[in-house]
Chains A and B, each alone.
Chain A
Amino acid sequence: MQFMLLFSRQGKLRLQKWYVPLSDKEKKKITRELVQTVLARKPKMCSFLEWRDLKIVYKRYASLYFCCAIEDQDNELITLEIIHRYVELLDKYFGSVCELDIIFNFEKAYFILDEFLLGGEVQETSKKNVLKAIEQADLLQEKTETMYHSKSFIGYKKAY
């Protein structure tokens, strides 16, 4: 996988992970182009498209689009399920995840992704093992403050 982008219906980038070296300028250009392309597609269309010399695999979950760029020989369907497994991981960790969880805890979203995918390849597919790594980290953590926001003021539809 070359990169993964999460963006909202409004085109706001929520998470970006690049597995190939690119300049910031190029990253911004790619993001702009892809967000536009993907948002323009209709709901029943297929989840794959050719883009430059890459294949784009995307799926929408509630207000968020998950979008991966893979190489020619990579498997589209398994990439769709990479996306789904990542959503499941986020969901399990945050407890029915929604876009706001990812906005306010973006660092956690990155940490979970790093446990699941590394260097663009699947590292660990077991939900238990991935979350174990993250939970351990939370246990190691010494200070606990109460979170600023609580779920109650989120007016968003849940992801599932």
Chain B
Amino acid sequence: MPAVSKGDGMRGLAVFISDIRNCKSKEAEIKRINKELANIRSKFKGDKALDGYSKKKYVCKLLFIFLLGHDIDFGHMEAVNLLSSNKYTEKQIGYLFISVLVNSNSELIRLINNAIKNDLASRNPTFMCLALHCIANVGSREMGEAFAADIPRILVAGDSMDSVKQSAALCLLRLYKASPDLVPMGEWTARVVHLLNDQHMGVVTAAVSLITCLCKKNPDDFKTCISLAVSRLSRIVSSASTDLQDYTYYFVPAPWLSVKLLRLLQSYPPPEDAAVKGRLVECLETVLNKAQEPPKSKKVQHSNAKNAILFETISLIIHYDSEPNLLVRACNQLGQFLQHRETNLRYLALESMCTLASSEFSHEAVKTHIDTVINALKTERDVSVRQRAADLLYAMCDRSNAKQIVSEMLRYLETADYAIREEIVLKVAILAEKYAVDYSWYVDTILNLIRIAGDYVSEEVWYRVLQIVTNRDDVQGYAAKTVFEALQAPACHENMVKVGGYILGEFGNLIAGDPRSSPPVQFSLLHSKFHLCSVATRALLLSTYIKFINLFPETKATIQGVLRAGSQLRNADVELQQRAVEYLTLSSVASTDVLATVLEEMPPFPERESSILAKLKRKKGPGAASALDDGRRDPSSNDINGGVEPTPSTVSTPSPSADLLGLRAAPPPAAPPASAGAGNLLVDVFDGPAAQPSLGPTPEEAFLSELEPPAPESPMALLADPVPAADPGPEDIGPPIPEADELLNKFVCKNNGVLFENQLLQIGVKSEFRQNLGRMYLFYGNKTSVQFQNFSPTVVHPGDLQTQLAVQTKRVAAQVDGGAQVQQVLNIECLRDFLTPPLLSVRFRYGGAPQALTLKLPVTINKFFQPTEMAAQDFFQRWKQLSLPQQEAQKIFKANHPMDAEVTKAKLLGFGSALLDNVDPNPENFVGAGIIQTKALQVGCLLRLEPNAQAQMYRLTLRTSKEPVSRHLCELLAQQF
């Protein structure tokens, strides 16, 4: 077919495209495009009415420009005009433009919908198809509202042409996916099922997709599709390779339809009717048999199509998980593919075998391929294939082969791609724990992990080994001996120092009898690593040292010497300094008995789901770790490997890591305020509240400060006395400026920005919040060239706020030079829920004239939001639990800003709640959840925002366990859109 006869030959378009192609630079391209845009604009605006052809040509040019990645903000009207042309190509271009550049202008939508309606009613199948394609391509809710009711009618109408039925089926599918609520089920559904019997293969192909989607929600309504699908499939599978004419693809009859039918059957359990089931099993066997036949063509298309059906068949067999014979045959077939020369097939075979490994019928059969899989892990050149092999080894692992698999994975780790190292580390750690027969092997394995890939050993992994060693006294001696040996390596990973430090601090006494690992040797070995370690590790080692003083009184003098050294007692890091001071005091003032009680061995950890497993699940998505999760294949494992007696955790611990152990996997509502840092220890011992203020920042604050750029005067700030917040009473300051509320609103969903600005002064804000704590930096900039005098910004708590929110500020310099900026740090603690923000009063003298200004400090209750992820089911359960009328607050309001889903998302995230996908049946809606953290209580919050683009309105619903909070949050959030 000569190309010249093709297309509608828009010469101007071709010239334009080749001009663009000839552009030497991006700038030249933009210049050419701007010239063209100007030209088109003038043509569209010109007095002379454009003929259809020119309109089509220009619209097509605009489309081309848009597809190049440039913005197009006009031409929609001209495109809409094309829709009502009775010339096919003009209409076609009009539709293409509309589908690519979807516009939310409601007037335009009305015109588009009108044109579509006309075409749908035209009884011209070509026009009807164009209209249906457009609806399917746009797939918006508006389209659904306008047409979802009509399309089922077109789909099942007796006089619809085949091509129209095909388009209608998939068009309906798209609308259903976008807005299921808009597609009414009804009498037509039964007739759709019978499209499976249609003579036209294309109609069947389109209809299966629709049915597969619809039946997910209403399986019973579509149940008759099972027998129809089986008989259709059976006819295809048993047909000779040429029977289906144009639906045969490289000698494979109807591969797409076959795959879709097999897919549909996976929506249901095995057929109950024996005859149907027999016929289906026959089909599946035929497919497996055909896989053994010599290929009818050497073309890769032939084998791909054939194997596509084979893999889908195997998926169905795995889905049924009830035919041992078929499962084993499937496994053998995949085993052959493991060594196929096509990389694609090896990849898919490894992937598919992973699921087979979790079936009790085929688990053993999968295991027979272990050597091939290990070989794949070593020799595959494509990292994604190696990844699959690692996954499969993980899935096929059980007690019988754990040692082999773990050692192979460890060996692989040495050369593994950086991208997958962390995942391999997690997997090894899980397998080693799960299938450990003796725990010395487990300890060896984890230490090997740290040795080989220390950088990729996450906290979860080394926390876990400590947990297990602490809980199992039969392995403690071995662990102490092994870490001691490991630490003797000249260069060992910092994670090794952490594990070693902790274990020796707890169980070093178990090896102290040997003169080669006597207490002073243990101490000097650990201390030789001290100076090379990070702050966190050094803090941990300090705790080990104090534990040593208890375990080995003979080391006391040496250790006190270390603690007393200036490098510790005056360490710039507050955590280290604090530990040194406290431990030194503890070791000198406490009696041996007290010391022994305080520094007693850690009690066993309460058993929880392994946090490593949780991490792997997070990494890989649900289901990834499930093969091992349920322990189905290995019921005995629980006795040895899961069983650690639950013990209430009583005393706090001198380790920074201890309170994190295990708790990380728990959902936030259950998490206690994580404050069991070093400080609490002393509070317990001295039992005096007076000890508290001297403790300095809690670990959380320290964490926050790490996230911030170091403030210029920060070493000073640590020593400066905090100033009580409210020196002037509320009556001393003026009312907030009129814009205060508006300024406050700007900060509801963000933490940084300019809070206020006039000719004299600019106030910038930077803040961070964690749990119920926050730190805010205020930057006061003098915009003039004259010095401000008596400059004094203060924070005031009106009303009851004092009891709800604690804000500590420091004084700032009383003079601010012209052009200079001063910074003020505020430490904020939310004590309980509050409704009004604190006030910020700024006073100074400028050129002798007193200036005063009162603003609302951007601290609103939502800043203490902690996002909570949850599944749809949990969400609805909690939603129902909060069903008292006073727990709900709702607002319906007009949009003040353009309704952009991305912007809305960003705002909701900024507000602080988690955004939950796949919860609301309507994907346009937003659903969020979180917990407001205050010192006194936690308030669970659920929210739902329903935009209505047509009406430019929103409906916002908040449910929380506390009535004023619901209302307050609702008001705060409603002003953001």
- Measured CB to CB, the residues of A under 8 A from B are 13, 16, 19, 21, 23, 25-26, 28, 42, 44-50, 53, 73, 75-78, 80-82, 84-85, 92-95, 101, 103-108, 110-111, 114, 118-129, 133, 136-138, 140-151
Inter-chain contacts of B167 with A (CB < 8 A): 118, 123
Q: What are the interface flags for B1-32 relative to A under an 8 Å C-beta threshold, 1 for contact and 0 otherwise?
A: 11111111111001101100100000000000
Q: Which of A16, A53, A73 contacts B67 (CB 8 A)?
A: A16
CB distance from A2 to the nearest CB of B (A): 11
Given contacts A81-B249, A81-B301, contact A119 B173 (CB under 8 A): yes
CA gap between A46 and B342 in the complex, in Å? 8
Inter-chain contacts of A138 with B (CB < 8 A): 6-7
Asked whether any CB of chain A lies closer than 8 Å to the CB of B823, the reply is no
Q: 6 extra interchain contacts, Cβ-Cβ under 8 A, other than A23-B901, A104-B14?
A: A19-B139, A46-B343, A124-B205, A143-B9, A147-B4, A149-B14
CA gap between A151 and B307 in the complex, in Å? 37
Do B202 and A46 touch across chains, with their CB atoms under 8 A apart? Answer: no
Residue of B nearest to A133 (CB): B163
Asked whether any CB of chain A lies closer than 8 Å to the CB of B504, the reply is no
CA gap between A87 and B64 in the complex, in Å? 21
Do B64 and A106 touch across chains, with their CB atoms under 8 A apart? Answer: yes
Do B17 and A104 touch across chains, with their CB atoms under 8 A apart? Answer: yes
Do A144 and B139 touch across chains, with their CB atoms under 8 A apart? Answer: no
Do A48 and B126 touch across chains, with their CB atoms under 8 A apart? Answer: no
Q: How many residues of B contact A (CB 8 A)?
A: 83
Residue of B nearest to A134 (CB): B6
CA gap between A124 and B202 in the complex, in Å? 5
* Centre residue among B8, B96, B178 by max chain A CB count within 10 A: B8
Do A119 and B171 touch across chains, with their CB atoms under 8 A apart? Answer: yes
Do B381 and A44 touch across chains, with their CB atoms under 8 A apart? Answer: yes
Do A84 and B301 touch across chains, with their CB atoms under 8 A apart? Answer: yes
Inter-chain contacts of B703 with A (CB < 8 A): none
Do B304 and A77 touch across chains, with their CB atoms under 8 A apart? Answer: yes
CA gap between A94 and B8 in the complex, in Å? 13
Restricting to B896-920, which residues have a CB under 8 Å from any CB of A?
A: 900-902
Asked whether any CB of chain A lies closer than 8 Å to the CB of B256, the reply is yes
Residue of B nearest to A50 (CB): B384
Residue of B nearest to A111 (CB): B92
Asked whether any CB of chain A lies closer than 8 Å to the CB of B263, the reply is yes
Given contacts A75-B311, A119-B139, A141-B8, contact A125 B96 (CB under 8 A): no
Do B249 and A46 touch across chains, with their CB atoms under 8 A apart? Answer: no
Q: Which of B4, B206, B343 contacts A146 (CB 8 A)?
A: B4
Asked whether any CB of chain A lies closer than 8 Å to the CB of B312, the reply is yes
CA gap between A121 and B260 in the complex, in Å? 10
Inter-chain contacts of B815 with A (CB < 8 A): none
Do B69 and A105 touch across chains, with their CB atoms under 8 A apart? Answer: no
Do A107 and B166 touch across chains, with their CB atoms under 8 A apart? Answer: no
Do B6 and A147 touch across chains, with their CB atoms under 8 A apart? Answer: yes
Given contacts A53-B621, A136-B126, A148-B14, contact A141 B89 (CB under 8 A): yes
Interface-lining segment among B42-50, B129-137, B441-449: B129-137
CA gap between A151 and B139 in the complex, in Å? 37
Inter-chain contacts of B89 with A (CB < 8 A): 137, 140-141
Do B3 and A125 touch across chains, with their CB atoms under 8 A apart? Answer: no
Q: Which of A46, A50, A110, A122 contacts B96 (CB 8 A)?
A: A110
CB distance from B805 to the nearest CB of A (A): 38
User: How would you classify the secondary structure of chain B's contact residues: helix, strand, loop or mixed?
Assistant: helix
CA gap between A49 and B387 in the complex, in Å? 10
Asked whether any CB of chain A lies closer than 8 Å to the CB of B60, the reply is yes
Residue of B nearest to A94 (CB): B3
Q: What are the interface flags for B160-188 relative to A under an 8 Å C-beta threshold, 1 for contact and 0 otherwise?
A: 00010011001101100110000000000
- Which 9 residue pairs across A and B have the least CB separation, nearest first? A145-B9, A148-B14, A119-B174, A77-B308, A78-B308, A118-B170, A140-B88, A126-B246, A46-B343
CB distance from A45 to the nearest CB of B (A): 4
Inter-chain contacts of B87 with A (CB < 8 A): 140-142
Complex A-B: 23 CB contacts under 8 Å = A21-B140, A23-B900, A44-B343, A44-B382, A75-B263, A75-B311, A77-B311, A78-B255, A84-B304, A105-B7, A114-B137, A119-B171, A121-B170, A121-B173, A123-B167, A124-B202, A126-B201, A140-B89, A144-B5, A144-B8, A145-B9, A147-B4, A147-B6
Inter-chain contacts of A13 with B (CB < 8 A): 67, 69
Inter-chain contacts of B308 with A (CB < 8 A): 75-78, 81
Do B6 and A49 touch across chains, with their CB atoms under 8 A apart? Answer: no
CA gap between A24 and B6 in the complex, in Å? 31
Q: What are the interface flags for B281-319 relative to A under an 8 Å C-beta threshold, 1 for contact and 0 otherwise?
A: 000000000000000000001001101100110000000
Do B69 and A28 touch across chains, with their CB atoms under 8 A apart? Answer: yes
Q: Which of A19, A122, A133 contacts B256 (CB 8 A)?
A: A122
Do A77 and B163 touch across chains, with their CB atoms under 8 A apart? Answer: no
Inter-chain contacts of A140 with B (CB < 8 A): 87-89, 126
Restricting to B326-362, which residues have a CB under 8 Å from any CB of A?
A: 343-344, 346-348
Do A21 and B246 touch across chains, with their CB atoms under 8 A apart? Answer: no
Given contacts A48-B347, A123-B167, contact A150 B4 (CB under 8 A): yes
CB distance from B624 to the nearest CB of A (A): 11
Do A103 and B93 touch across chains, with their CB atoms under 8 A apart? Answer: no
Do A108 and B621 touch across chains, with their CB atoms under 8 A apart? Answer: no
Asked whether any CB of chain A lies closer than 8 Å to the CB of B254, the reply is yes
Asked whether any CB of chain A lies closer than 8 Å to the CB of B53, the reply is yes
